[in-house]
Amino acid sequence: MYDAGKGFKFRRRAARNTGGGIAVQFSPMKPKNVVLASWAVVALAVAAVAQDMELQKRTIQLNSDLTAQVISVARDNTGRNLSASIKISNTGQKTLFVLFIGKPAVMDDEGGQQFSVMDVNGVAYCDWSPDRICVGIPDVGRAVPLNSYTEVDAGRSITVLMTFRLFHADPSTSGHVSLSTEIAYRIVESAASDAELNERQKLKDVHIGNLSFDSVKVREK
């Protein structure tokens, strides 16, 4: 047996007669605390893998400059009101301008209930339908002004908070939901070069990406 203060203790086995006296054999006992520690290490490793897999499900990298990550999804005790927060990070060296477009959607993974978006805060947002109108497709004259996009400097992040409500269905009870939304963005290398472009030229540099997160864990409020 192992003692933290004295080291390994030994268990005395049965004595045997060797003809010249009595010989006593000793054998080391299996340290139970070492076995328990091994299981604890395995449990921690399994938990770390599960946490990493959950993080991967909650993270999307659209390109080298833009990463989106679900921070949390929470539902109240009625099963009808849900909130989601997403971190938009500029992981590049250029300036990022972002605009959320369309109707963000949340779907209960088990019951199939679809939540309706109620509000989007923390970022410029256009809910026109069809959503491509927001970026000047097909009419550039109807596009959201580019100077109203949310600016995210290099190495910085913003947090987008969205709220949803379930109207015509049974309350949501699933432990996981799927969340999707669309984002329009521009990547600007320098303010000086960007100033030389007119609005139509800048609109040609607008990209549209889909942020789709599957089976995100829901926290109960």
Structure tokens at 140: 């550039």
Confidence of residue 54 (pLDDT cuts 50, 70, 90): low
The pTM assigned to this predicted structure is: 0.75
Tens digit of each residue's pLDDT (9 = 90 or more) over 176-205: 999 999 999 999 999 888 999 999 999 999
Dump the DSSP string for 74-124.
Answer: EE-TTSSEEEEEEEEEE-SSSEEEEEEEEEEEEEETTT--EEEEEEEESS-
pLDDT at residue 33 is higher than 80? no
Domains in the chain, CATH or no CATH each = 2-54 (no CATH), 60-220 (2.60.40.1230)
Per-residue pLDDT at 221: 85
Question: Dihedral of the CA atoms 192, 196, 199, 200 (nearest 10)?
Answer: -130
Query: Parallel, antiparallel, or unpaired: how do β-strands 66-75 and 2-3 relate?
Result: unpaired
Per-residue pLDDT of 60-115, as tens digits, reads 999 999 999 999 999 999 999 999 999 999 999 999 999 999 999 999 999 888 99
Q: Which two tokens stand for residue 143?
A: 């596009």
* pLDDT of res. 183: 98
